[in-house]
């Protein structure tokens, strides 16, 4: 089960209109607007979707993040997929000098039998 995690309302950094839909093969996210005060503008994010793939003997981790692409000056989605190690651990983001991590959108573990567990993060607008 993927649970919603709602952060406290914030007027300087928030996402409007983002919704997640689980499909038989993966996940789909609606278009949304991301406002971050340090950039002094809102970013229009296109819809995004991806298929979920399983492994026969280990959990698979997925992480979907909004990142700022420094060279292009735009906000983008980055999806990371990692096969869990022998202890079941996976990390869902890999640091890069090209990108600035802005918001975690999804953290998901998928078992070999296809069970999905994780969190979908929401960042509401405050007053």
* Residue 35 C-beta-side C-alpha neighbours within 13 Å: 14
pLDDT band at residue 85, thresholds of 50, 70 and 90? confident
Which one has a higher pLDDT value, 97 or 93?
97
Residue 56 domain flag: yes
Tens digits of per-residue pLDDT, 23-37?
A: 989 999 999 999 999
Strand-pair partners of 27:
22, 50
Q: CATH code at 18?
A: 2.60.40.2980
Residue 40 belongs to a domain:
yes
Q: What is the mean pLDDT of the chain?
A: 92
* pLDDT of 76 strictly over 80: yes
Neighbours of 34 (CB within 10 A): 23
Which residues, in sequence order, are CB contacts of 72 under 8 Å at separation 6+? none
Q: Would 127 be classed as within a structural domain?
A: no
For the chain, the domain total comes to 1
Domain that holds residue 102: 2-122
Q: What is the pLDDT of residue 24?
A: 87
% residues pLDDT > 90 (the chain):
75
């Amino acid at each position: 089960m993927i649970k919603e995690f709602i952060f406290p309302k914030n007027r300087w950094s928030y996402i409007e209109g983002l919704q997640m839909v689980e499909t038989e093969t993966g996940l789909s996210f609606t278009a949304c607007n991301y406002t971050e005060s340090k950039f002094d503008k809102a970013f229009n994010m296109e819809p995004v979707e991806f298929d979920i793939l399983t492994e026969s003997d280990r959990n698979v981790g997925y992480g979907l993040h909004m990142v700022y692409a420094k060279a292009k000056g735009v906000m983008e989605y980055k999806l990371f997929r990692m096969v869990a190690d022998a202890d079941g651990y996976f990390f869902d983001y890999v640091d890069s000098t090209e990108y600035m991590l802005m918001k975690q959108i999804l953290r998901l573990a998928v078992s070999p039998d296809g069970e999905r567990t994780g969190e979908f993060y929401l960042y509401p607008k405050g007053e």
